[in-house]
């Protein structure tokens, strides 16, 4: 089972165990001392050790010899320092939030285990954060995989996002994120080799998974697709193309940003799968279904079963249950179209 351990937690845990070990050592030393010096039986030696360490002021079980008194003085002085050390470590352990973080982690693990059809985003860098922000605005369920403990602390303390702390090139980590139940995975790490390894593992575990991979090197594009990536995004290339478009076709770019990058509650472009199409609508044309008149939404494109696209299809185009249609409209219009087209 995958375990999330940060360096600060390890240090605090080691301090707790060291303090307990020293305390146990002092108890054993006290028992042995009273047994040898005062010839006390085990139980009386243990009793004397505990009341001495705790400084509760109870009377000794029997009058002490000179050697016993000296040993008791030394035991009190040593145990007092050890006791203070133990208390300070426990206090630091609690105040530093280890207990709180432990329960938060368990709650997050439980929520992840109950997820299906979620999106796994590997890497919480600049690209990953922007991706997550847009996915959240579209009401997608997200699980972040990040190996930097400082970033994990930021996610835990400042957001309500689900996360797994670890290296996504480790199969145990992506299993902890629910890879076998996920709908999609986005590999947004800055190193192409890491993204390649993640794509290979994810595709092997979940053959039906949609995988989007980030690439920095142009030569990595083909390799990532061969490894199983559904799509490969190159931020540098995409950014260059966008800057050129803003010079050559600025209004088009701004319009597409308005349609694609705004909140879901406004005008939106969405894909609808026709696999659940109502039987009566099978093979009917767009004109016969009167989609625009009935819902207010517009079909601006169709992807056929063979992967070909029809842009701005006419009223005489027939729809099939194998089609994916691209619809432009407000959210309520698109929802009405889904009700009209698909079986409940």
Crossing angle of helices 42-54 and 66-95, rounded to 10°: 60
- Bridge partners (DSSP) listed for residue 187: 122, 213
Q: How far apart are alpha carbons 79 and 271 in whole angstroms?
A: 71
Say yes or no to pLDDT of 1 above 80.
no
Placement of tokens 């303090």 in the chain: 19
CA-CA-CA-CA torsion sign (313, 318, 322, 328): positive
* Residues 90 and 156 reside in one and the same domain: no
* Residues 125 and 228 reside in one and the same domain: yes
What pLDDT score was predicted for residue 235? 84
Number of C-beta neighbours around residue 227 at 10 A:
21
* Residues 131 and 62 reside in one and the same domain: no
What pLDDT score was predicted for residue 99? 66
* Residues 45 and 155 reside in one and the same domain: no
List, for residues 281-339, the tens digit of each pLDDT value.
777 888 888 888 888 888 989 998 888 999 999 888 888 888 889 988 888 888 888 88
* Residues 121 and 228 reside in one and the same domain: yes
* Residues 131 and 197 reside in one and the same domain: yes
Strands 184-187 and 162-165: unpaired
Placement of tokens 């940060």 in the chain: 6
* Number of domain units in the chain: 3
Among residues 33, 61, 95, which one ends one of the domains? Answer: 95
Within a domain: 250: no
How far separated are the first and last CA of the chain, in Å rounded? 39
Enter the pTM of the model: 0.62
* Residues 75 and 159 reside in one and the same domain: no
* Residues 125 and 54 reside in one and the same domain: no
List, for residues 22-51, the tens digit of each pLDDT value.
878 888 988 998 899 988 999 988 888 888
* Residues 196 and 229 reside in one and the same domain: yes
CATH code, domain carrying 194: 3.40.50.720
CATH code, domain carrying 303: 3.30.70.1450
Q: How far apart are alpha carbons 330 and 336 in whole angstroms?
A: 10
List, for residues 183-206, the tens digit of each pLDDT value.
999 999 999 999 999 999 999 999
CB-based contact 136:159 (threshold 8 Å):
no
Within a domain: 41: yes
* Residues 30 and 70 reside in one and the same domain: yes
Within a domain: 185: yes
Within a domain: 271: yes
* Residues 25 and 85 reside in one and the same domain: yes
* Residues 217 and 155 reside in one and the same domain: yes
Within a domain: 259: no
Which domain does 65 fall in, by range?
7-95
Buried b vs exposed e over 286-303: b needs ≥16 C-beta within 10 Å? beebebbeebebbbebbb
Within a domain: 162: yes
Q: Mean of the per-residue pLDDT values for the chain?
A: 84
Within a domain: 79: yes
Q: What stretches of 96-125 show up as alpha helix (H) in DSSP?
A: 98-113
| Segment of 139-148, 247-256, 281-290 carrying the highest mean pLDDT | 139-148
Residue 329's Cβ-side half-sphere holds a number of Cα atoms within 13 Å equal to 24
List, for residues 49-84, the tens digit of each pLDDT value.
888 887 776 777 788 888 888 888 888 888 777 777
Within a domain: 107: no
Q: How far apart are alpha carbons 44 and 31 in whole angstroms?
A: 9
CATH code, domain carrying 64: 1.10.287.70
Residue 327: closest CA among 263, 277, 272:
272
């Amino acid at each position: 089972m995958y375990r999330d351990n940060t360096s600060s937690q390890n240090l605090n845990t080691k301090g707790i165990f060291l303090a307990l070990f020293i305390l146990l050592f002092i108890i054993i030393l006290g028992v042995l001392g009273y047994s040898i010096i005062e010839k006390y039986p085990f139980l009386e030696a243990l009793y004397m050790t505990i009341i001495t360490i705790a400084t509760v002021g109870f009377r000794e079980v029997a009058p002490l010899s000179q050697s016993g008194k000296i040993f008791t003085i030394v035991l009190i002085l040593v145990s007092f320092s050890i006791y203070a050390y133990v208390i300070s470590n426990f206090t630091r352990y609690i105040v530093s939030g280890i207990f709180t973080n432990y329960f938060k982690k368990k709650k997050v693990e439980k929520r992840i285990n109950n997820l299906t059809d979620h999106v796994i985003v590997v890497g919480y860098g600049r690209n990953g954060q922007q991706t997550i922000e847009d996915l959240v605005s579209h009401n997608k369920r997200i699980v972040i995989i990040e190996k930097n403990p400082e970033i994990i602390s930021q996610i835990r303390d400042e957001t309500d996002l689900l996360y797994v702390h670890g290296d996504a090139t480790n199969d145990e980590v992506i299993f902890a994120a629910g890879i076998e139940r996920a709908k999609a995975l986005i590999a947004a790490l800055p190193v192409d080799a890491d993204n390649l390894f993640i794509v290979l593992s994810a595709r092997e575990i979940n053959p039906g998974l949609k995988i989007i991979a980030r690439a920095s090197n142009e030569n990595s594009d083909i390799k990532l697709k061969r490894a199983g990536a559904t799509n490969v995004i190159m931020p540098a290339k995409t950014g260059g193309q966008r800057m050129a478009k803003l010079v050559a076709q600025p209004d088009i770019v701004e319009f597409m940003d308005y349609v694609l990058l705004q909140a879901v509650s406004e005008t939106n472009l969405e894909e609808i799968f026709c696999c659940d199409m109502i039987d009566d609508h099978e093979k009917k044309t767009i004109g016969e279904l009167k989609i625009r008149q009935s819902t207010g939404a517009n079909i601006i494109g169709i992807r056929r079963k063979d992967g070909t696209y029809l842009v701005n299809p006419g009223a005489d185009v027939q729809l099939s249950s194998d089609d994916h249609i691209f619809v432009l409209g407000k959210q309520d219009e698109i929802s009405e179209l889904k009700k009209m087209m698909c079986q409940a």
